[in-house]
Amino acid sequence: MSFKELTGILEQRQASFVLLLCHRSADADAICSAYALQGLLKRFLPNVVTEIGCPQGINKPSKQLLDHMPINVNLKPNIESAEVIVLLDMNTIEQLDEVAEIIKKSPSPKIIIDHHAPSPETMQICKLCIIDEKAAANCELVYRLFVETDVQPNLNEAKALFIGIAFDTRHFALANSSTFQVIAKLVEEGIDAQETLAQFAAPIDPSERVAKLKACKRAKILKVEGWIIALSHVSAYQAPAAKALVDLGAHMAAVAGKKNGKVELSLRSTRQFNEQTGVHLGVDIATPLGEFLAGVGGGHAMAAGVSGKGEIEPALKKCLELLKQKIAKNA
């Protein structure tokens, strides 16, 4: 009975001010889980003032969220005056940088609600830990508190929970069976999934649109051992441009650009390309390419970046050469 334990701590403290704290550059999952919890607490403890605090700012999509939802966030919360502190969607208070020290010093009880692997140090300072690493989003955990208390979320709360889950699961790509059960319930309660997802899809910068289209128009398309490789160049947004080329059908894309006298490249590939060729873009391509350009390169298996000296044409040529060698070697 986690919600009972939570309200038990508030009652024992006779708390009149409770702070719901979100992590650094708070995302939709953190803010939405705080908002829904705030609503649930209001039903049981109407006299307790709760505030959502984001002392280390919010991320870009969250700004859009706050424009569309009746959610109030305090960017400069008074942590010292909080009688109970609830930490949401963060496994360590170190995520709050210098604010972590203020939390550590505060004599008020702390409660954590999270879906990441817990840090022992943070668990030690918390009186109550509501943690499930298997949950795909923190909003899923807060939804369970509604179920536990037999409370129906109102439409805004349901929408917030839906958005938080959609955000953390990358529009359900990372969702598991329990996530889909929660989502099904929220849709049953009146959330229009298509409309809500469209409303909160990140707006694309007009210059990013143009950069992507230019990269497609300029792309050189080659076949290496049956793999479709796209090479292109734009002066900005190389990473989204490379991703766009892969989304359009290339197995691997490299997009170069020049900025402040430096040449920069973004590399992307499909998972299939990585698995079947064994080419790790960060290790096999970006790192040696960075050395070749007297700069630096690195990254992940399917997404990598390079920055160095030189011109676009020879940089892309070298990139292709490295790719051909690596694909042939692993074939």
Q: Which residues bind Mn ion (CB under 5 A)?
A: 29, 89, 138, 168
Contact 221, 230 (CB under 8 A): yes
CA 34/CA 160 separation, integer angstroms? 9
Q: Which residues in 137-170 are b (16+ Cβ under 10 Å) and which e?
A: bbbbbbbbbbeeeeeebeeebbbbbbbbbbbbbe
Which residue, 30 or 293, has its beta carbon nearer to Mn ion? Answer: 30
Closest approach of Mn ion to the CB of residue 89, in Å: 4
- How many CB atoms are closer than 10 A to CB 41? 21
Which residue, 169 or 277, has its beta carbon nearer to Mn ion? Answer: 169
Closest approach of Mn ion to the CB of residue 244, in Å: 27
Of 45, 124, 59, nearest in space to 87 by CA:
124
Closest approach of Mn ion to the CB of residue 202, in Å: 17
Closest approach of Mn ion to the CB of residue 135, in Å: 9
The residues near 294 (Cβ < 8 Å, ≥ 6 apart) are 308, 309, 310
Of 88, 75, 82, nearest in space to 102 by CA:
82
**Helix, strand, or coil (residue 271):** helix
The residue sitting closest to Mn ion, measured at its beta carbon, is 29
Helix axes 155-168, 28-44, angle to 10 degrees: 150
Closest approach of Mn ion to the CB of residue 34, in Å: 11
Given phi > 0 = left and psi -120 to 50 = alpha, else beta, which region is 106? Answer: beta
Closest approach of Mn ion to the CB of residue 230, in Å: 34
Closest approach of Mn ion to the CB of residue 117, in Å: 12
Which residue, 35 or 292, has its beta carbon nearer to Mn ion? Answer: 35
Which residue, 137 or 316, has its beta carbon nearer to Mn ion? Answer: 137
Which residue, 22 or 229, has its beta carbon nearer to Mn ion? Answer: 22
Which residue, 54 or 231, has its beta carbon nearer to Mn ion? Answer: 54
**Helix, strand, or coil (residue 186):** helix
Which residue, 167 or 237, has its beta carbon nearer to Mn ion? Answer: 167
Which residue, 29 or 83, has its beta carbon nearer to Mn ion? Answer: 29
For 326, list phi and psi in degrees, rounded to 5.
-70, -45
Contact 219, 191 (CB under 8 A): no
Q: Where are the alpha helices (DSSP H) in 249-330?
A: 271-277, 287-292, 312-330
Closest approach of Mn ion to the CB of residue 47, in Å: 30
Contact 117, 91 (CB under 8 A): yes
